[in-house]
């Protein structure tokens, strides 16, 4: 569990608005990263992220102080995010719309991130990985993203997915193996081209 959970839950229990602000500050980027890697679209991740927090706030309003104090915020938020995303996918299947593919959102501090040259060097590898991730089956993708992109423990991922820890471990391991398979031929091809 993350070490920030304790004071955060205390704040949530004493003052909802205060605690919720803190919740957003601490967990917004993790939720956004999860949704971005699961959907593959920056704009979609943005919308679904807002939807996630809106739902979280509405739910928190109905919770008692005791329940808020016992909350494990990150796993709880990811559960909501995963549900929001599943609902969204279902809606999209029923009412399909064309969307332009956005590969990566790199808006951050102006000085911090890697410069254009570094970006160009790593962009090719990243793009391959992002594409491979999008081709994974749904449960495996969620498990792999939660475990390795967001960096949650297997126990937390199991809580989000609502299944035993063993299942999650299998999903993650199979997901990684599939990713390797998907990447292998392309990397080999790249080597041939560059040689």
In degrees and rounded to multiples of 5, residue 16 shows phi and psi of -65, -50
Does 176 help bind other proteins (rule: CB under 8 A)? yes
Tell me which stretch binds other proteins (CB under 8 A): 77-85, 88-96, 108-116, 163-171.
108-116
**Whole-number Å distance between alpha carbons of 88 and 103:** 19
Q: CB 174 → other proteins: shortest distance, Å?
A: 13
State yes or no: residue 88 binds other proteins (CB under 8 A): no
Is residue 104 involved in binding other proteins (CB under 8 A)?
yes
**Dist. CA 34–CA 37, nearest whole Å:** 5
Asked if residue 172 lies in contact with residue 148, where contact means CB atoms within 8 angstroms, the answer is yes
**Chain residues 115-174 in contact with other proteins, contact rule CB under 8 A:** 125-126, 129-130, 133, 144-145, 148-151
> Contact at 8 Å (CB) between 140 and 168?
no
- Give the rounded distance of the alpha carbon of 191 from its chain centre: 31
The binding site for other proteins (CB under 8 A) comprises 17-18, 20-22, 24-25, 28-30, 32-33, 36-37, 42, 46, 49-50, 53-54, 57, 104-109, 111, 125-126, 129-130, 133, 144-145, 148-151, 176, 179-180
């Amino acid at each position: 569990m993350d070490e920030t959970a304790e004071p955060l839950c205390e704040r949530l229990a004493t003052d909802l608005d205060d605690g919720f602000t803190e919740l957003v500050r601490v967990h917004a980027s993790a939720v956004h990263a999860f949704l971005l890697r699961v959907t593959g679209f920056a704009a979609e991740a943005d919308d679904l992220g807002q939807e996630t927090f809106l739902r979280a706030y509405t739910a928190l309003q109905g919770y008692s102080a005791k329940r808020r104090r016992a909350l494990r915020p990150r796993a709880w938020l990811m559960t909501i995010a995963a549900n929001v995303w599943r609902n969204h996918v279902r809606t999209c299947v029923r009412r399909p719309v064309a969307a332009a593919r956005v590969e990566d959102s790199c808006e951050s501090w102006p000085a911090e991130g890697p410069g254009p040259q570094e970006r160009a060097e790593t962009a090719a590898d990243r793009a391959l990985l992002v594409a491979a991730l999008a081709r994974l089956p749904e449960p495996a993708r969620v498990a792999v993203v939660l475990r390795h992109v967001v960096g949650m423990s297997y126990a937390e991922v199991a809580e989000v997915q609502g299944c035993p820890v063993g299942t999650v471990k299998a999903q993650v391991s199979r997901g990684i193996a599939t990713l390797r398979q998907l990447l292998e031929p392309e990397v080999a091809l790249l080597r041939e081209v560059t040689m």
